[in-house]
């Protein structure tokens, strides 16, 4: 197999050893005479898989006992609806930081099911930075402040968690388990699994248990966090394969040093790319304010669109795949999630230098 380096923003590269392990046991799971995919989710085999995945999730992400972890289908996008449905009671409002495309989606969907408002708007800066604490304008009766901790498209992240008087809710989709979170500030942390945590097919939600106990109850069961918690994420048929693969990715993370190692590798890999960009004499340019540069999604431009197109084509020919920026902003983007090996980043850095030398 001629394995490529895959810089896709998600779904994205997974650890090769995880894929190989899953392949080996795909048809006959642990000698049971059937695939895990064919087993009842109420049976002992899958219950063990789900229990181990949940326990590892809480352990690796260093979540305190006050938190539970839930597996819910529908991606981060269904969470956009569930947040106000569960948490906003009459008279309460949800505050949102508009930091880019994903935050805007959370605001739009949230507004359909609750009283939400924008507490800071990054559109004037073209989403190239996150707000300072003093810029965040909260109103009375605000139940939570929603932040998108890393914007996949803009390539920005919060360097520090906002210090505000209300609980935070964080969409961490594109930097999930790539840095620690300050749990004491959060009521809920969520994100799609399909970047750092496994294949597409579910959101992973860490929730403060006490917050779930005071949620709204007059909504359908699938939309209620407390129902998912009471059912151990199995009140209805769970996304078996997504949970199984998530567990395997977590075992891989633990084996390779856990959260601290993932954070440090991300700093090192993104640092190498930003150094290559900054050292290129303005040939490559990153539009993001330095302090807010993402460690997961490194966005950059070339001198003109013609060279960007050539860059992307030649990169693919060299086995460096999916470096195209999001269609809404153009340019280039290297998504370097936990499973991207340092070798992949080194190969990209080398390619960038060679391309500049040939097309300067």
The Cα–Cα gap between 39 and 36 comes to 5
| Catalytic choice (102, 121, 269, 324) | 102
Q: Is residue 322 a contact residue for a copy of itself (CB under 8 A)? A: yes
- 188 scored as a contact of a copy of itself (CB under 8 A): no
Q: Smallest Cα–Cα separation from 143: which of 164, 122, 112?
A: 164
CB nearer a copy of itself, residue 19 or residue 138: 19
278, 349 in Cβ contact below 8 A?
no
User: What are the residue ranges of helices labelled H in the chain?
Assistant: 16-24, 44-60, 75-87, 101-111, 209-213, 225-230, 240-255, 258-278, 305-317, 342-359
User: Given candidates 81, 288, 292, 345, which one binds a copy of itself under the rule CB under 8 A?
Assistant: 81
Q: What phi, psi does 104 have (nearest 5°)? A: -60, -35
The answer to whether 360 and 303 are in contact (CB under 8 A) is no
φ/ψ (deg, to 5) at 85: -60, -40
**Binding-site string for a copy of itself from residue 208 to residue 247, where x marks contact by CB under 8 A and - marks none:** ----------xxxxxx-----------xxxxxxxx--x--
Choices 174-182, 247-255, 286-294, 319-327 (CB under 8 A): range interacting with a copy of itself: 319-327
Task: Classify strands 297-300 and 332-335 as parallel, antiparallel or unpaired.
Answer: antiparallel
* Residue 171 falls in the annotated catalytic set: yes
Contact criterion met (CB below 8 Å) for 118 and 157? no
Name which position in 44, 108, 230, 260 contacts a copy of itself (CB under 8 A).
108
Binding a copy of itself (rule: CB under 8 A), the pick from 30, 33, 328, 343 is 33
CA distances 242 to 18, 106, 272, Å, are: 13, 23, 32
Residue 35, SS3 per DSSP:
coil
Structure token digits, residue 328: 């809404």
Residue 303 as a binder of a copy of itself (CB under 8 A): the answer is: no
Instruction: Indicate if 195 belongs to the active site.
Output: yes
Output the smallest distance, CB 227 to a copy of itself, in A.
10
Give me the least distance between CB of 282 and a copy of itself, in Å please: 30
Of the residues 49, 56, 68, 80, which one makes contact with a copy of itself according to CB under 8 A: 80
Residues paired with residue 72 on neighbouring β-strands, in sequence order = 203
Confirm or reject binding of residue 10 to a copy of itself (CB under 8 A). Answer: yes
From candidates 40, 126, 210, 264, binder to a copy of itself by CB under 8 A: 40
Give the footprint of a copy of itself on this chain (CB under 8 A): 1-4, 6, 8-14, 16, 19-20, 22-23, 26-28, 31-35, 37-41, 43, 73-78, 80-81, 105, 108-110, 112-113, 192, 194, 199-202, 218-223, 235-242, 245, 319, 321-322
By annotation, the residues acting in catalysis are 102, 171, 195
């Amino acid at each position: 197999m001629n394995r490529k380096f895959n810089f896709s923003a998600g779904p994205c590269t997974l650890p090769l050893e995880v894929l190989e392990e899953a392949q080996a046991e795909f048809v006959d799971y642990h000698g049971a005479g059937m695939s895990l995919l064919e087993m009842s989710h109420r049976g002992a085999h899958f219950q063990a898989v789900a229990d181990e995945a949940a326990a590892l999730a809480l352990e690796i992400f260093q979540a305190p006992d006050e938190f539970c972890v839930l597996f819910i289908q529908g991606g981060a996008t269904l969470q956009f609806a569930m947040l106000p449905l569960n948490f906003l009671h009459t008279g309460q409002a949800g505050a949102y930081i508009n930091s880019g495309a994903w935050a805007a989606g959370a605001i739009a969907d949230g507004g359909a099911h609750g009283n939400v408002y924008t507490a800071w708007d990054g559109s004037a800066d073209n989403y190239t930075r996150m707000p300072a604490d003093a810029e965040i304008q909260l109103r009375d009766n605000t139940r939570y402040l929603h932040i998108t901790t890393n914007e996949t498209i803009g390539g920005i992240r919060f360097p520090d968690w906002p210090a505000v008087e209300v609980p935070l809710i964080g969409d961490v989709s594109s930097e999930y388990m790539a840095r620690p979170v300050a749990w004491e500030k959060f009521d809920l942390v969520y994100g799609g699994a399909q970047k750092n945590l496994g294949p597409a097919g579910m959101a992973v939600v860490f929730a403060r248990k006490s917050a779930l106990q005071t949620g709204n109850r007059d909504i359908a069961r699938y939309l209620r966090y407390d129902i998912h918690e009471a059912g151990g994420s199995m009140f209805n048929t769970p996304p078996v394969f997504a949970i199984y693969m998530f567990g395997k990715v977590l075992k891989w993370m633990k084996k390779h040093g856990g959260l601290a190692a993932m954070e440090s590798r991300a700093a090192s890999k993104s640092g190498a790319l930003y150094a290559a960009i900054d050292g290129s004499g303005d040939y490559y340019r990153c539009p993001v304010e330095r302090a807010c540069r993402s460690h997961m999604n490194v966005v950059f431009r070339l001198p003109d669109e013609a060279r960007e197109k050539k860059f992307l084509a030649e990169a693919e020919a060299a086995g460096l795949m999916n470096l195209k920026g999001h269609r809404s902003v153009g340019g280039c983007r290297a998504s370097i999630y936990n499973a991207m090996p340092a070798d992949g980043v080194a190969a990209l850095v080398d390619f960038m230098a060679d391309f500049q030398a040939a097309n300067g």
